Amino acid sequence: MTCMSSSPAPLVSLAARWGWIAQIPAAVVRPAAGRGMQRPLPTPEEVRELFAAVADDPEFAAFLRLSATTGLRPGEVCALRWVDVDPAGGTVSVTGNIVTAKELPEHYVRKPPKSGHGVRLLALDQDTAEQLREHQARRRALAEEFGAVLTPEAFVFSRAPDSRRPIRPDAMTKRFSKKAKEPGQVASHRWWKS
């Protein structure tokens, strides 16, 4: 009768000693990364100050309001298309994320969420829904001005008149950082999620 250890460690050590495996796998394994530092949440007053500071830039105001009221990351907001947003019904469907890299053909890709839990339907408050309706009207007018049509597949936030390409998340992060550094601004950049 052969007695087997309940742990594979002695067998793995023996296999490494006899040259059957190059090394003991446990020697090169790193522990899983822990959770990152928790970002401080903004106070309601900081959010109001931020909204007031960007009131002169309606597109950026809509972007920040949508981010603040839904908790979406910049890449998720940038990935929103008009087919995902229902301002009249007060909902937004999160179905993707924008990832940027110079190596990509168009320097970006719209990726689906990593898991099924990443796809979600969120409710919008009345003010955010109204801001999105106004933003959609401005985007539609801009598209028509350039002889284009704002299709349901068009991105909600874009620099292109026809909204076929999304605005880059890093561009919005830079815009936010620049606004946060202006005189009189609260250090609200500390809660921006890149």
State the Cα angle at 141 between 168 and 73, rounded to 5°: 25
Segment 109-129 mean pLDDT: 90
- Written as six digits, the tokens of 158 are 């874009």
pLDDT tens readout for residues 7-43: 667 777 777 778 777 777 776 777 766 666 676 777 8
Contact 167, 157 (CB under 8 A): yes
**8 DSSP 8-state letter:** S
pTM: 0.75
The CATH class of 44-182 is mainly alpha
DSSP string, 19-77: TSSSS-GGGT--PPP---PPPPPPPHHHHHHHHHHTTT-HHHHHHHHHHHHH---HHHH
* Domain coordinates in residue numbering, the chain: 44-182
Contact between 74 and 173 (Cβ < 8 Å) = yes
Tell me the per-residue pLDDT of 126-153, one tens digit each, with 9 for 90 and over: 999 999 999 999 999 999 999 999 999 9
pLDDT digit string (tens) for 149-187?
999 999 999 999 999 999 999 988 888 888 777 766 655
Asked if pLDDT for residue 2 goes beyond 60, the answer is: no
Q: What is the pLDDT of residue 194?
A: 47
